[in-house]
Amino acid sequence: MITLRQLKYLSALARHGHFGRAAEDCAVTQPALSMQIRDLEKTLGLALVERRPGDVTLTEAGVEIVRRGDEVLAKSRDLMDFARQQAKPLAGRLSLGVIPSLAPYVLPKILPRLQGRFPDLRLELRETQTRQLLDEVKSGALDVAMLALPIHEADLATMHLFNDEFLLAVPLDDARSEGERVVAHDIDQSRLILLEDGHCLRDQALAFCATVPRARSNGVTNSGGMTFGASSLATVMQMVANGYGITLIPQIAADVEQRDGRVKFLRFDEPQPGRSIGLVYRRTSPRKQDFVALGEVVKESLV
């Protein structure tokens, strides 16, 4: 008989590609995890894993079993969530993923209110890029994610939370005054510093600047010939503060990232560029009321 434990261990092995790391993720010993996977192979009559020194590769059959097993695991979590939902909202475990350009600015505002209003909630947080969050929501590894919309995935549903406008961050000695309005053509893309590939904020900024000649698609090259790509807004803002370039920054991050006053923000003419922020979850999840309650806390906390 196949067990949920075996499917969970195989899924962890597929994610980590290493027995030791998979065992650590599942909080079991490596021999115990390996034994459960061998038992699963014996039950199915299939080789699921190709074992090599220091490396693990799934067989073709193993890849398909992981895909189907993740669906079973997601359904089992939905079953537990349904039972929990019948008791009271936002109780027990809830795994929430957040993109990096939101997490440092939204979570400190919403967590105290969540903990105060829903004391039985056990929140598990994950910060990573959009594509990874979507994959983990679909597999059931995450219950819900907060990220930039729209999302075009047939098996996922979305809930809009708020609009987040973009500002142009420039060094304090920039000739333009802080109250001055700017347009896309005012952006000198030879000085534009953006997050590295994989961040949705980078794609949104480039889309807004698409009408500007000589748009860069990989890092930024400023007038001094330096190429730079960053993994966090904090790093980008430090570069701007030190006079190495300019950037687009979401309004939600502006107050935190203004740092020591060496940066000023310019607002764009209407219609102002920005992004729509919302929640993403599986259409089959029985926890929609939990997500509605979470969304209300987010909105209240950001007023």
Homologous superfamily of domain range 164-274: Periplasmic binding protein-like II (3.40.190.10)
Q: Is 88-162+275-301 assigned to CATH 3.40.190.10?
A: yes
- For 202, phi then psi, to 5°, come to -60, -45
Q: Render pLDDT for 104-128 as a digit per residue (tens, 0 to 9).
A: 999 999 999 999 999 989 999 999 9
Per-residue pLDDT for 227 more than 80?
no
Closest C-alpha to 114, from 91, 133, 137? 91
Please give the residue that has the higher pLDDT: either 120 or 145: 145
Per-residue pLDDT for 216 more than 70?
no
CATH of 4-82, one of 3.40.50.2000, 3.30.70.260, 1.10.10.10, 3.40.50.2300: 1.10.10.10
Per-residue pLDDT for 151 more than 80?
yes
Q: Sketch the domain layout of the chain as residue ranges.
A: 4-82, 88-162+275-301, 164-274
Residues 6+ positions from 106 with CB-CB distance below 8 Å: 98, 146, 252, 298, 301, 302
Q: 146 pLDDT band (50/70/90 cuts)? A: very high
Per-residue pLDDT for 238 more than 50?
yes
Q: Are 161 and 106 in contact (CB under 8 A)?
A: no
Residues 143 and 124: their CA atoms lie apart, in Å, by 10
Its pTM surpasses 0.75: no
- Same fold flag, 88-162+275-301 and 164-274: yes
